Copies of this chain bind each other. A is one copy, B any other.
């Protein structure tokens, strides 16, 4: 049997070289498919490699090349439908370009968010794709400027960073107008999250207002439901309180799918029909939207596009591209389902 390991110790490049009677560099050349190696030599070395079961030591390689071929993806939670599909897409995009992804969970904690960038400084990864939840533009400005970073999401970021996002304001406007197209006049927004500094909610709110005003509807601030935290439970509480206090609405635009499915569940418990009495739209078009009842109409960012752009742009930076940050608007659409169906022709 070939490739067996007698348990003594790892096989090193130099062991292969000795076994084949050549220099270490030649073995290295074969491993790397360097073109100027004679077929004879190549097969001789190849045989030695399989004979001994040699595996290159990545750590050593990294030390000398200074490249890790790893990128970090920093997201608030792994266990979140949107972020886990984003992670999936990014891992696949990176794989195509021979990079591995180290997924880092920041728990929406600003210290942890900054830690990720420090990882890059420690040489663990070559670059970072970063979707912040808390960190401010100011914090980021202090990061070493030669760290390749691509920002995702809606938070403001220093102009020096590349940044990809969907046009939240425009998307929000599209969603509101869809509800208006269904004849809804009193459209609520769920929800304005307390202490949310990342800015996504603000932009969505802006689009919400713009959409209303554009269509000649007035903005009623009591329809902007305040939510305590990002948990679905607090979204339920917010909707319930609105109902209890007699606030009436026939459309509901939610800042994300989690809030939306929580709202759907609450409305059902309250005996309010969706979409007949209240039409609901979510955001992110996650798996939750497909299996809720009714199925959920949702703003659908093009995750493939975001992931591809993010990886491509990051690798360009890693390979030395300099210059000010590039800002990219990623495509999106409104995925129409039952909770806010298509307007009848």
| A interface with B by C-beta (< 8 Å) | 4-5, 7, 10, 55-60, 62-63, 68, 77-81, 84-85, 87-88, 91-92, 100-103, 105, 118-124, 144-146, 232, 261-262, 264-265, 268, 287-288, 291-293, 295
Tell me the smallest distance from the CB of A202 to a CB of chain B, in Å: 26
Q: Are A265 and B287 in contact, with the CB atoms below 8 A?
A: no
CB A283 to nearest CB in B, in angstroms, measures 15
* Cα separation A56 to B85 with both chains bound (whole Å): 33
CA distance A123 to B144 in the complex (A): 28
Assembly stoichiometry (copies): 2
Residues of the B chain whose Cβ atoms lie less than 8 Å from the Cβ of A121: 55-58
- Given the complex of chains A and B, what is the CA–CA distance between A102 and B58 in angstroms? 15
| Complex A-B: 12 CB contacts under 8 Å | A7-B145, A58-B121, A59-B123, A60-B63, A78-B87, A78-B88, A81-B287, A100-B102, A262-B291, A265-B293, A265-B295, A292-B293
| 16 new A-B contacts at CB < 8 Å, known A91-B105, A291-B291, A292-B292 | A5-B144, A10-B122, A57-B122, A58-B121, A58-B122, A59-B124, A60-B63, A60-B123, A63-B63, A79-B84, A81-B81, A84-B84, A91-B103, A100-B102, A103-B103, A232-B291
Task: Report the Cα distance A69→B5, complex, angstroms.
Answer: 24
Residues of B within 8 A of A58 (CB): 121-124
**CB pair B85 A79 closer than 8 Å:** yes
The answer to whether A144 touches B57 (Cβ under 8 A) is no
Across the two chains, which residue of chain B brings its CB closest to A144?
A: B5
Inter-chain contacts of A101 with B (CB < 8 A): 103
What B residues does A292 contact at CB under 8 A?
A: 291-293
